[in-house]
Chains A and B, each alone.
Chain A
Amino acid sequence: MKIHERLPNRSLRSGFLEAVSTFSDLAVLEFGPEGTTHYWASTISGISPLIFTSGILETEVIFGKTTRYEAAVRELIQRPLGGLILLSSCVSDIINSDLCSIAAQIQKETSLPLMAVDKLRLDWDYTQGFHLAYDLIARNLDRFSHPEPQPGTVGILGLHPSDYRGVSDFTELKRMLEEILGLCCLNRPDGTLSLSDLGKASCFLVLRHEAMPLAQAISDRFGISCRLVQPYGPAASRQMLDLTAHMTDASYADNPVFRLDWEDALEAVSLLRAKLRQTGSCHVMIHADADRAAALGRFFREECAVPRVTLPNCTQEKHGDGLLRLPSEDAVLQLVRQDTPSVLLTDEVCAQALSGRTRVLLFSAPLLLKRDINRHAPFMGLRGTAVLAEAILNLL
Chain B
Amino acid sequence: MRLSEYQKPADIPQCCLAVNPGRHCPMFGVSSVLRSIEHLTVIYLGTTDCVYFAQKAFRTFEAEHPDRRCARVLAAELTEQDLVFGLQKSLTKLITHELEQFPDHALYLVTSCSIEVISEDIQGTVEILSRKFNRPITLIPTENFKTFSYYTGIENALAALACNLNPVPILPKTFGVLGARFEGGDRCEPVRRLQEYGYRLLCNFPFQGTKKGLAQLNAVSFHLVIDNCAVKLAQELKSRFGIEYVRFDEKLNQSSVQQAYRKLSKMTGLDFAPFIEEQERALQKKQEVASRRLRGKTFFYSQILLYPFEACLFLARLGAIPTCIFLSGSLDRTDCARKALLQYADPELLRNAQSDVILKRMQQLHPDFFIGGMLSQAAVRAQQVRPLSLPVLPLQCGYEFMFQSLERLTEVEVYENP
Chain A partners chain B: yes
Residues of A near any B CB (own CB < 8 A): 1-14, 29, 32-43, 48-58, 60-61, 68-69, 71-73, 75-76, 89-91, 94-95, 121-123, 125, 348-349, 352, 366-368
Instruction: Given the known inter-chain contacts A57-B10, A122-B83, please indicate yes or no for A35 contacting B77, CB distance below 8 A.
Output: no
B117 within 8 A of A: yes
Task: Check if A75 sits within 8 Å of B117, measured CB to CB.
Answer: no
B61-78 CB mask vs A (1 if < 8 Å, else 0) is: 011001000000011111
B226 within 8 A of A: no
Instruction: Given the known inter-chain contacts A1-B94, A8-B55, A352-B63, please indicate yes or no for A38 contacting B145, CB distance below 8 A.
Output: no
Task: Check if B76 sits within 8 Å of A35, measured CB to CB.
Answer: no
Task: Check if B25 sits within 8 Å of A33, measured CB to CB.
Answer: yes
Within 8 Å by CB of B75, from A4, A13, A33, A37, lies A4
CA gap between A13 and B52 in the complex, in Å: 12
State the Cβ distance, A16 to closest chain B Cβ, in Å. 11
Instruction: Given the known inter-chain contacts A54-B17, A91-B117, please indicate yes or no for A35 contacting B28, CB distance below 8 A.
Output: yes
Task: Check if A39 sits within 8 Å of B25, measured CB to CB.
Answer: yes
State the Cβ distance, B202 to closest chain A Cβ, in Å. 33
Within 8 Å by CB of B18, from A1, A29, A48, A348, lies A29
Within 8 Å by CB of A1, from B10, B22, B79, lies B79
Partner-binding segment picked from B43-51, B155-163, B175-183, B190-198: B43-51
B360 within 8 A of A: no
Instruction: Given the known inter-chain contacts A3-B75, A41-B22, A90-B114, please indicate yes or no for A56 contacting B145, CB distance below 8 A.
Output: yes
Residues of A within 8 A of B48 (CB): 8-12, 122-123, 125
CA gap between A75 and B82 in the complex, in Å: 36
A59 to B, closest residue via Cβ: B10
Task: Check if B117 sits within 8 Å of A61, measured CB to CB.
Answer: yes
B352 within 8 A of A: yes
Task: Check if B117 sits within 8 Å of A54, measured CB to CB.
Answer: no
B350-385 CB mask vs A (1 if < 8 Å, else 0) is: 001000000000000000000000000000000000
Task: Check if A4 sits within 8 Å of B18, measured CB to CB.
Answer: no
Task: Check if B75 sits within 8 Å of A58, measured CB to CB.
Answer: no
B80 within 8 A of A: yes
Closest 4 CB pairs of A and B: A35-B25, A34-B22, A41-B21, A33-B144
Task: Check if B59 sits within 8 Å of A35, measured CB to CB.
Answer: no
CA gap between A45 and B28 in the complex, in Å: 18
CA gap between A171 and B113 in the complex, in Å: 40
Residues of A within 8 A of B50 (CB): 35-36, 90
State the Cβ distance, B308 to closest chain A Cβ, in Å. 19
CA gap between A12 and B28 in the complex, in Å: 21
CA gap between A50 and B82 in the complex, in Å: 33
State the Cβ distance, A55 to closest chain B Cβ, in Å. 6
Instruction: Given the known inter-chain contacts A1-B87, A10-B52, A35-B50, please indicate yes or no for A367 contacting B59, CB distance below 8 A.
Output: yes
State the Cβ distance, A211 to closest chain B Cβ, in Å. 22
Instruction: Given the known inter-chain contacts A4-B74, A7-B55, A8-B51, please indicate yes or no for A38 contacting B60, CB distance below 8 A.
Output: no
Residues of B within 8 A of A52 (CB): 18-20
Task: Check if A5 sits within 8 Å of B21, measured CB to CB.
Answer: no
Task: Check if B62 sits within 8 Å of A352, measured CB to CB.
Answer: yes
Residues of B near any A CB (own CB < 8 A): 10, 14, 16-28, 45-53, 55-56, 59-60, 62-63, 66, 74-80, 82-83, 87, 90-91, 94, 113-114, 117-118, 143-146, 150, 352
Task: Check if B145 sits within 8 Å of A91, measured CB to CB.
Answer: yes
CA gap between A2 and B76 in the complex, in Å: 6
State the Cβ distance, B354 to closest chain A Cβ, in Å. 9
Task: Check if B117 sits within 8 Å of A95, measured CB to CB.
Answer: yes
CA gap between A348 and B64 in the complex, in Å: 11
Instruction: Given the known inter-chain contacts A9-B48, A33-B145, A75-B16, please indicate yes or no for A348 contacting B63, CB distance below 8 A.
Output: yes
CA gap between A382 and B55 in the complex, in Å: 37
CA gap between A85 and B144 in the complex, in Å: 23
Task: Check if A38 sits within 8 Å of B114, measured CB to CB.
Answer: no
Residues of A within 8 A of B145 (CB): 33, 55-58, 60-61, 91
What would be 6 A-B contacts, judged by CB atoms less than 8 Å apart?
A36-B50, A55-B22, A90-B47, A90-B114, A91-B113, A122-B83
B45 to A, closest residue via Cβ: A1
A72 to B, closest residue via Cβ: B17
CA gap between A6 and B82 in the complex, in Å: 21
B50 to A, closest residue via Cβ: A36
- Starting from the known contacts A35-B27, A41-B21, A55-B22, 13 additional A-B residue pairs (CB-CB under 8 Å) come to A1-B94, A3-B75, A4-B76, A9-B48, A35-B28, A37-B21, A48-B21, A53-B20, A55-B352, A68-B17, A72-B17, A94-B83, A352-B62
Residues of B within 8 A of A29 (CB): 18
Task: Check if B59 sits within 8 Å of A53, measured CB to CB.
Answer: no
Residues of B within 8 A of A36 (CB): 25, 49-50, 53
Residues of B within 8 A of A90 (CB): 46-47, 49-50, 78, 113-114
Task: Check if A367 sits within 8 Å of B144, measured CB to CB.
Answer: no
Task: Check if A123 sits within 8 Å of B80, measured CB to CB.
Answer: yes
B117 to A, closest residue via Cβ: A94
Residues of B within 8 A of A7 (CB): 52, 55-56, 59, 75
Task: Check if A122 sits within 8 Å of B47, measured CB to CB.
Answer: yes
CA gap between A61 and B116 in the complex, in Å: 10
The residue among B49, B74, B79, B150 with the most chain A CB atoms within 10 A of its own CB is B49
B25 to A, closest residue via Cβ: A35
Residues of A within 8 A of B10 (CB): 57
Residues of A within 8 A of B113 (CB): 32-33, 35, 90-91
B21 to A, closest residue via Cβ: A41
CA gap between A33 and B149 in the complex, in Å: 12
B26 to A, closest residue via Cβ: A35
Task: Check if B59 sits within 8 Å of A3, measured CB to CB.
Answer: no
A35 to B, closest residue via Cβ: B25
Task: Check if B117 sits within 8 Å of A49, measured CB to CB.
Answer: no
Instruction: Given the known inter-chain contacts A4-B55, A55-B145, please indicate yes or no for A38 contacting B23, CB distance below 8 A.
Output: yes
CA gap between A7 and B63 in the complex, in Å: 13
The residue among B22, B25, B114, B150 with the most chain A CB atoms within 10 A of its own CB is B22
State the Cβ distance, B4 to closest chain A Cβ, in Å. 24
CA gap between A14 and B63 in the complex, in Å: 23
Task: Check if B118 sits within 8 Å of A6, measured CB to CB.
Answer: no
Task: Check if A8 sits within 8 Å of B62, measured CB to CB.
Answer: no
Task: Check if A39 sits within 8 Å of B18, measured CB to CB.
Answer: no
